[in-house]
Chains A and B, each alone.
Chain A
Amino acid sequence: MSVLRERVTWVWLGLMALTCITTWGLSKDLFSPAVAVVGIFLIAAVKVRYVMLDFMELRQAPPPVRAAFEAWPAVVAAVILGFWFATPAIM
């Protein structure tokens, strides 16, 4: 079993890269708040999805269960962003 050839390893590398992008890239001031927040949460939703499909192995789960779980990051991101846009700007 070669660790480097495992799917989970590639997924992990991708997740680590995305984390660096959001934490030390998108959060910097060169992006407007809207771009930063939308970008960060879309990336977070994608990360959650990969953890669910490849770490939790939901790719092989019965379709209704997989669908229910995949809906979670989508709904959570949508609700969070919805509230963010509804929140007044601060001076």
Chain B
Amino acid sequence: MATHAEPTIVTPARGLSPYPTDYKTWKILAWTGPVFLAAVFGLWGLVARNMPPFPASATPDEVKAHFQEFRLPLLIALSICVTMTAFYMSFSVAVARVMERIEGPGGLLSKLEMMGGTITCAPVMVTLAIWLTAAHEVNNLPPEIMHMLYWMGWLLFDLAYFVTSMQIAACSIVFMRDKRDKKLVPNAVSWWGWVTFASFFAVSAIPFVTTGPLAFNGVISFWIAFFTWFFWIPSLSYFIIKAVDRIKAEDEAAGLVNA
């Protein structure tokens, strides 16, 4: 009787990526989330005088005067910010890999999250570059062009929100599906993601108003919409950074480190 050895079929754990995991790099990428936020908040928010932003109701002359008055801080803050926006992309990659551990390596939502986060960089970078140009060229440009550049920035910055909305939605959906007793990202953060998602829609009103709560500097379109997102980033980052360690411990316990 012929006996033959059954070929050993190795069924990879579904949650594990089919390639080696570099926990150290993963963690560094996760940390770029808070770095991005600090840069945007500190540079664009404070140094470039955007908290609150110069009003939507400003006249062309007022816009030009504002850019002349703050030309140097704007040049410094905006130029560094354009470069540092890339950290949002690197952060999104770290988040996507955590999502893959829940959704599986081929999952759609982790791809959507990574694309959403990466593409968010585009309107942000282009907007900052537009305003940087406005500051740079302010003494050569008439007030009407300055007004146009100011508005062009806001319309692009704000109305592209849905790429970020999709990133946030993808995160919330996947992290809420985590079957661990203690989820990698707690439900509270996912629900805050939904609050942020909902808060963005009102921003669509900005082309139509220059004063009141819906203007791009108003309580709804600026303070609420931006601060819900500003709070989502660090709260998510905290748990993503911790998740890398938790996943490493899980892999070690299963004997699958760098499998």
Task: Report if A and B touch in the complex (beta carbons < 8 A).
Answer: no
